[in-house]
Structure 1
Amino acid sequence: MSERTPMIEMRSVSKHFGSVIALSDISMQVYSGEVMCLLGDNGAGKSTLIKTLSGVHQPTHGEMLLGGEPARFKSPAYALDAGIATVFQDLAMIPLMSITRNFFMGREPTVGWGPFKRIDWKLADRIAKQEMAKIGIDVRDPSQPVGTLSGGERQCVAIARAVYFGAKVLILDEPTSALGVKQASVVLRYIAKARADGLAVIFITHNVHHAYPVADAFTLLKRGGSLGTFRKENISREEVLNMMAGGAELESLDAELAEFQRSDSEKNADTEETATASKTRLAAGQ
């Protein structure tokens, strides 16, 4: 592994917003043909890390490397041109527009030249249908509104679009969070296919049960800092869950719940004892 060059790498990256430290000293390596799962609860820094990788934010400290070369993206457009494609939760799709229009989104193939240049809709429809078929989704009519597709299929349109336009690094922001079991499995299968095609995939989620089957490595975030990067063969699903939830915090919670239960039991016993004594006094008075 040490002889390979990471497709994308972060070295001691920090991001500050004034006095607020959103990311602190994050280091991560993602290799071609692998899935790196970025795990963390809400507020862990996942969104800031995504936006730093994709050119929305500039790192305050540290450096990023792409293919072993220093990289600094002035905007998401620069990151996209460099081969870093990000699929955000909102998918950046227009439901009432066709699958083809959403697939190309301003990069439609054209025919003709000069003032006679026009979009080649037949070619665009054929490409969109072929690319969706590659991931096992049979689109009967690529001119149908993308809003008619299921949530999982729309995720796959966004992923297929990124791959078709030459992405080397695919960043997926919580792609399965709002999906049912069947739809999530469609997305997870395509993540595995993107890895098989040689892409470096960064899969952001807080669902370990979705992450563990497809992951090759895990980076765990907590409150803007990194708990470390772990290879899948070196860490179990239960250990990942425990680190995400915080083992010490869970033990403290268990102790508090046990104390509440004990207090409730004592109160109930006292109440029953008082009630019994009252009944005895009443009976004696009669």
Structure 2
Amino acid sequence: MTPGRTPLLALRQISKNFGAVEALVGVDLDVHAHEVVALVGDNGAGKSTLAKVIAGVLQPDSGLIEMDGAPVTLPSASAANRLGVASVFQDLALCENLDVTANVFLGREMYNRAGLLQEGQMETETRALLRDLTVRVPSIRTPLRHLSGGQRQAVAIARTVIGNPRIVVLDEPTAALSVAHTAEVLTHIERLRGMGLGVILISHNLNDVRAVADRVEVLRHGRNNGSFRGDASHEEILAAITGAGSPSL
């Protein structure tokens, strides 16, 4: 937490059960503008559940969600979108047969008053957006199926920015990517931070986390188990993940 600053997003005592399974237990999380916060933890620690609560995909059983210090409810993904929360989960939710521009504007297509698709305007905005994020693709008219895994992830990230979000949730964005493509995606994350967004990065890769995160929040068995600066050592973070150490600030 950052004293004296109202978080862009604040979660207080968030709990979520699935039957007898306690997925989240009293979890707190703050995210500020211009900040990358990494969520780390073992499988089953609650990372994806917490991300889905923030994205409006799941609703908590108890707890408080605030944006700019005001309580909000996120009953659906569309409601979260309207409040400025955009998410990229591992399936990416892109269309292989559509080109880059069509995927960036998927569900947000631009039409003129006559009801005609404004393809030229969409292409212009796509070029500008990819340039701002330093995304490199062969062409904005290239079908998604011809892009690499890293390029697809970049298109998914670019798509989130179309709605002018304030918070972006990225669930394992570098999973299964090559070293070169991972480096490109990490650059895109840094650009999101530079644009003033709050970024929540879920990752198992501590090298990636330490490369871009301002803060690392550890979950263990659905509970907060440590808060660290982004330059904390592997050993400190791993101790919190495995339960070998006590939570630190």
TMscore range, shorter length: over 0.9
Distance change (3 Å), C-alpha of 1:212 and 1:194: same
| Alpha-carbon RMSD | 1.5
Tell me the distance in 1 between the aligned counterparts of 2:208 and 2:138. 29
Residue-pair matches, total = 244
Shift of 1:56: 1.1
Residue type of the alignment partner of 2:172: E
Shift of 1:241: 2.4
Tell me the distance in 1 between the aligned counterparts of 2:197 and 2:7. 11
Distance change (3 Å), C-alpha of 1:145 and 1:129: same
Distance change (3 Å), C-alpha of 1:110 and 1:202: same
Shift of 1:135: 2.3
Q: Deviations over 1:210-251 (max 9, x none)?
A: 101111111101121110222335x32321123224438xxx
**Range with greater deviation from structure 2 (221-230 or 210-219):** 221-230
Hey, what does 2:77 align to over in structure 1?
A: 76
> Structure 2 matches for 1:1-286, cutoff 5 A?
1-111=2-112, 113=113, 116-232=114-230, 235-247=232-244
Consecutive unaligned residues of structure 1, counting only runs of 5 or more, are: 249-286
Shift of 1:102: 0.7
> Does the 8 Å contact 2:133/2:192 carry over to 1?
no
Give the match's secondary structure for 1:247.
Answer: coil
Higher helix share: 1
> Does the 8 Å contact 1:129/1:138 carry over to 2?
no
Tell me the distance in 1 between the aligned counterparts of 2:190 and 2:18. 35
Shift of 1:58: 1.1
Q: Deviations over 1:5-41 (max 9, x none)?
A: 1000110110012222111010111111011000011
> Does the 8 Å contact 2:212/2:230 carry over to 1?
no
Give the match's secondary structure for 2:16.
Answer: strand
Residue type of the alignment partner of 2:224: S
> Does the 8 Å contact 2:220/2:243 carry over to 1?
no
Tell me the distance in 2 between the aligned counterparts of 1:126 and 1:16. 45
Consecutive unaligned residues of structure 2, counting only runs of 5 or more, are: none
Provide runs of 4+ in structure 1 moved above 4 Å. none
Identity %: 39
**Range with greater deviation from structure 2 (13-22 or 176-185):** 13-22
Tell me the distance in 1 between the aligned counterparts of 2:210 and 2:88. 20
Tell me the distance in 2 between the aligned counterparts of 1:212 and 1:138. 24
Q: Deviations over 1:69-103 (max 9, x none)?
A: 10111100000010000011111001111111111
Q: Normalising to structure 1: TM-score of the pair?
A: 0.81
Kindly name which structure, 1 or 2, has the bigger radius of gyration based on alpha carbons. 1
Q: Deviations over 1:75-133 (max 9, x none)?
A: 0000001000001111100111111111101211112x2xx311011111222122112
Shift of 1:136: 2.3
Residue type of the alignment partner of 1:66: M
Tell me the distance in 2 between the aligned counterparts of 1:245 and 1:189. 29
Give the match's secondary structure for 1:118.
Answer: coil
Shift of 1:60: 0.7
Give the match's secondary structure for 2:49.
Answer: helix
Tell me the distance in 1 between the aligned counterparts of 2:243 and 2:22. 21
